[in-house]
Amino acid sequence: MARIAPLSGFPEWLPDGRVVEQHVLDTLRRTFELHGFAGIETRAVEPLDQLLRKGETSKEVYVLRRLQAQDDAAAPDTQADKQLGLHFDLTVPFARYVLENAGRLAFPFKRYQIQKVWRGERPQDGRFREFVQADIDVVGAGELPYHYEVELPLVMAAALGALAGVGLPPVRILVNNRKVAEGFYRGLGLDDVEGVLRHIDKLDKIGPDAVAALLVQECGATTEQATACLELAAISGSDASVTDAVRALAASHGAVTDLLETGLTELGALIEAAAVRAPGVVVADLKIARGLDYYTGSVYETVLVGHEALGSICSGGRYDTLASDGKSTYPGVGLSIGVSRLVSRLLSAGLVRATRGVPTAVLVAVMSEEDRAASDAVADALRARGIPADVAPKVAKLGKQIQVADRRGIPFVWFPGETDQVKDIRSGEQAAADAGEWAPPAEDWWPRVVPGA
């Protein structure tokens, strides 16, 4: 094997980076479970025809071929219905899982799912071809009450908030409601709602003047209508003033509709609940459009304060048809955290670090190979009491064995003897100890994740 270069777009971490990632994953899992979400895992592949149902994403799919299946390779396009591709998100597999198991699930079904997904796009600035997503969704059978649209961003606020202690910057969850946008546009007389949303979604990239021009050119808007759309998109805030501002704007343009009013009631309820349960985190931002056309109610994006250029690290929304089997329709609401993107930023910006890259709290020295069994017995006694321990790779002078621990960040070295001794190699303190009783301080027991600076 010659020298090996990393594959662009396929991130991997060194052991201490993995400690950080694992802590993020454990924290998310715990928060999701505290909120009653059941964990599931789906296979990595779906039939290609299912993955291609949303035409837009087709170019991102990795298709699988068994190496010996020459026929498949010769005529890949004619066999699309038999082919398998790697999932590019966790929503498509979840929708399939719900249909496949509908009779065995209790609805509303709350699930979290933390898995890798793959997208065959050109890797660029923080875009990965393989990355971990952490999704929560609630799906109902036939109906799904609005209050879940309030609950889900608050669960994510709790999950991300639980990482603040280790150095995750504060997050801001930006929310909007499709009914507000659609009700307002229709009230204005603009019927190409999807077109308008698609252009509004470009505001941060191309600016208001370019968006206004596009609305006029491509959505048939008058200059006044285009201006009204931009005025709506400029509204944001985290209290009732937001809905008041939208109502006033709509009234001034004669754009009040029932749909708008429904949307404002919903958005208002979300802002109100968020102000109590996660003060300062949730902000109504009327420019949030989310490109995808299947959202029908609340939509969410999340920025890391101070790292806004990273883009949204946690997005989602309400969809009236997550899945449908002809008989029943399954509406849902969900959000997805881009874990790899988040962890990559935490590590590369030095925002967090692991106190060590190995689990080991104690390295037991070995005085001679004949005494290895005694050292093993010490390590086993510590492990039996939940203390991660390892035994020195080989016999060496004490200084050398301390070096073995030091290189790995292991804080304690144990010296078996007539009376066992344990040394904190950072302070140099050494004391007699009994493997059946001694324990490391809580902060040294397991590797921890701490703020970087």
Taking CB under 8 A as the criterion, which residues in 250-279 touch a copy of itself? 273, 276-277
> Side-chain half-sphere of 327: how many Cα atoms within 13 Å?
4
Taking the C-alpha atoms of residue 73 and residue 64, their distance in angstroms, rounded to an integer, is 10
- Amino acid (one-letter) located at 290: R
What Cα–Cα distance (Å) separates residue 345 from each residue in 11, 13, 77, 284? 12, 12, 38, 26
Listed ranges 53-61, 195-203, 231-239, 417-425: which one lies at the site for a copy of itself (CB under 8 A):
53-61
Listed ranges 38-46, 165-173, 209-217, 279-287: which one lies at the site for a copy of itself (CB under 8 A):
38-46
380 binds a copy of itself (CB under 8 A): yes
Choose between 33 and 204: whose C-beta lies nearer to a copy of itself. 33
Taking the C-alpha atoms of residue 14 and residue 410, their distance in angstroms, rounded to an integer, is 16
130 binds a copy of itself (CB under 8 A): yes
116 binds a copy of itself (CB under 8 A): yes
96 binds a copy of itself (CB under 8 A): yes
11 binds a copy of itself (CB under 8 A): yes
Choose between 94 and 184: whose C-beta lies nearer to a copy of itself. 94
Residue 322: CB minimum distance to a copy of itself, A: 11
Q: Is 424 annotated as a binding residue?
A: no
Structure tokens at 312: 């949204």
Q: Is 172 annotated as a binding residue?
A: no
Q: Is 78 annotated as a binding residue?
A: no
- Amino acid (one-letter) located at 397: K
Q: Cβ of 136: how many Cβ atoms within 10 Å?
A: 27
Total site size for a copy of itself, rule CB under 8 A: 101
Q: Is 90 annotated as a binding residue?
A: yes
By CB under 8 A, name the one of 186, 247, 372, 448 that touches a copy of itself. 372
15 binds a copy of itself (CB under 8 A): yes
Q: Is 89 annotated as a binding residue?
A: yes
| Under 8 Å between Cβ of 445 and 411 | no
Q: Is 372 annotated as a binding residue?
A: no
By CB under 8 A, name the one of 285, 390, 420, 444 that touches a copy of itself. 390
- Amino acid (one-letter) located at 368: S
Taking the C-alpha atoms of residue 352 and residue 20, their distance in angstroms, rounded to an integer, is 8
Q: Is 31 annotated as a binding residue?
A: no
Taking the C-alpha atoms of residue 439 and residue 300, their distance in angstroms, rounded to an integer, is 46
Choose between 76 and 417: whose C-beta lies nearer to a copy of itself. 76
Own/partner contacts of 17-22, CB < 8 Å, gap of 24 or more, are 17/343, 17/347, 17/354, 18/357, 19/354, 19/356, 19/357, 19/447, 19/449, 20/343, 20/346, 20/347, 20/352, 20/353, 20/354, 20/449, 21/132, 21/339, 21/343
360 binds a copy of itself (CB under 8 A): yes
Buried b (16+ CB within 10 A) or exposed e, 92-113: bbbbbbbeeebeebebbbbbbb
Listed ranges 174-182, 251-259, 323-331, 412-420: which one lies at the site for a copy of itself (CB under 8 A):
323-331
| Under 8 Å between Cβ of 176 and 285 | yes
Listed ranges 171-179, 260-268, 303-311, 383-391: which one lies at the site for a copy of itself (CB under 8 A):
383-391
399 binds a copy of itself (CB under 8 A): no
12 binds a copy of itself (CB under 8 A): yes
User: Annotated binding site, which residues?
Assistant: 89-91, 119, 133, 137, 290, 294-295
User: Annotated binding site for L-histidine, which residues?
Assistant: 89-91, 119, 133, 137, 290, 294-295
